[in-house]
A and B are shown apart, each in its own frame.
Chain A
Amino acid sequence: MTGTVAALHPALRVTDLSVSYLTRGTRIDAVRGVSFDVEAGQTIAIVGESGSGKTTTGQAIIGLLAKNARVESGKVELEGTDILGAPAATLGDVRGSRIALIPQDPTVSLNPLRRVGVQIAEVFRLHGTVPKEQWKPRTIELLERVGFTDARKQVSAYPHELSGGQRQRVLIAIAIANSPSVIIADEPTSGLDVTVQRRTLDLLDELQRELGTAIVHVTHDLAVASDRSDTIAVLRHGQVVEFGRTAAVIAAPRSDYARHLLSSAPSLQVSDRVPRSDPAHPAEIVLEVSGLAKEFPGHVGSPSFLAVNDVSFSVPRGSTLSIVGESGSGKSTTARLLTRLIQPTSGRITLLGRDYTEKSERQFRHRRVAIQVVYQNPFASLDPKLTVGQIIEEPLKALSELKRTQRLASVSDILDAVALPQDFLKRPPRELSGGQRQRVAIARALVLRPDVVVLDEPISALDASVQGQILDLLESLQQDFGSSYVFISHDLAVVRRISDHVVVLNKGRVVEQGPAEAIFTRPQSDYTRDLLAAVPGGGKRAAAAAG
């Protein structure tokens, strides 16, 4: 592309794009009349919840729609040429050279049987842009550019030898190999830890400045969008409901939906939590953990693995203690230890003043009345064969002395408490949405009125607008029932909103713990500071542009 042409046309112009899917004879309009421009060197964030059509938009632009999808109308102009209706051969030439994709899931997007260097060089081979003898040095150069420190060695690594963040870097290297004018990044960091997410997005920003690439960043995360884009298009039911400069959209959204999204995205909110604990009258400690450790035996030839190492904390009645950390920090193992789904290697767990570390499951079972769990994934934690009523009733049946009519009354009360209609009782979980299912899971955990509820990432599998609602529900239920929460999360923004006390875990050890406000305003350890700095939100790019 010559300079004059590039100046005449935006790097990417999408006009009136409509895409529909045909499933079982019914037509579903996934994208309806979406239009936007992206100039070279600019980023547009396509934001929406699941089912909003954001991923379909991305796929349509790069011509990778599913087989049952059909483009109903519209144009996708790449530097002035329409590529939407282009024949497969032309599209093959364009893809990977002038427009490239960074896919969502780095764990499945690389071929596990081929070395990463070969997979990068494939782009050179396909497009003949680099002579064969240059493949290896160019590949190493690319890996260095995306931040591999030992690129010469890592070029011959297999994907499984790399971490999630490194794999995503390889995918970025593949995307930028031929210096494309446009990159479609489909949730490029959604599976990554916050610190890795920040480094990956920083890298993408840096490469964009260097190469002048236009980026279409598809994301569900409004906070990420606010940091990493120049313009935002908010999609809902396949239509653009809000479009504008990022700073303007974040500061003053015009549509109700965008306002709703913004207000429910926890990361963009300020905590208004009033601390529950009163230093003058210390509450009763309901759960106390000291020196907790869990060692998993290693496989043949590898050493055993200390997942949790000397963790101690205590939870006062009615308060929320959060355990935060990245993947592999041991936070989920801690949750499983607390609920005694696994046995600790050493250390003590005291529930309501009674040590149950040494007790057998038979002895402990009736004590489970006092400690209940809500799991991360409401699609996996509800038995598909039971009805909602049966699911909620189950702990009552197992652990209470109540008669059937009393149980049913309890179930119906708790259903009201989690704001679900009574007619859900007879329905199977598959007919419920993710948020509704999580309400059922919360109802099941609270129906016994436990003293402690362990919440293992209870909102991270849900859409942003639903996340806010579930958090609100959890907070109000805590006020009504007086349960203590142990809240496991990787999301510091959420943690800040609902915790009284925070425990920061890294590699199985407690890095830092203290009152929530202190952790967030005066973090003592480098690790906590790093975590805090990585939290997206606040419109970094807009701020940088203004300053």
Chain B
Amino acid sequence: MPMLLRLSGVNTYYGQIHILTDVDLEVAEGELVCLLGGNASGKSTTLKTVIGIVEPRTGTVEFAGEDVTGKNTSYRIKQGMAIVPENRRLFAPMTVRENLEMGAYLLGRAKKEDFERVYSLFPLLHERRNQLAGTLSGGEQQMVAMGRALMSQPKLLLMDEPSMGLAPILVERNFEIIKQVHEAGVAVLVVEQNANISLSIADRGYVLQTGRVVLTGPAKDLLEHEDLKKAYLGR
């Protein structure tokens, strides 16, 4: 499979604090990869480096065969990235439909097919399309956040902690949706603390520890890995 995203030798700093150390990470086209790690292990920073909110000091970010290091966020989004931010960050006083529309802002007027594609994934959003996003429940807001990211027809969907603050049943539902999106041909990079559920749907996984990739491999193998079991799976 051709590579869609490749981080090679990435070192990212916040000021003088060294966050990511020599991170190498790859996502192939149509692959579902999860990035695991505890608090302060550099998961979100990796994601921010991918989307271009922070720039690596050394190393490169390649996307779809092009070196996008130094390019801004909107350029990367135009090339086919989309992000579901941590805590969803919806535009609360705007309706569901308007939120979705903002997801496709860069591509000009939002197309009917895009709305229909998102509504077919999340029929509930069609029902609630004229409701203010701030009045939705957490699980529904997560759907809006995902739908908003999918409006721009991304090749790679970046998800920051999709299970945060949701009831266990909603987390499962959420990951079913991620799986569904993935089966529709979109590559997904999920950043998660919940190792069990994310590995159960992922193709491959990376484990970060204090800014370094300490473990990588097919999701099946990681699920069986002794250290990982002890650290994250609680078994």
Chain B binds chain A: no
| A contact residues vs B (CB 8 Å cutoff) | none
Residues in chain B within 8 A of chain A (CB atoms): none
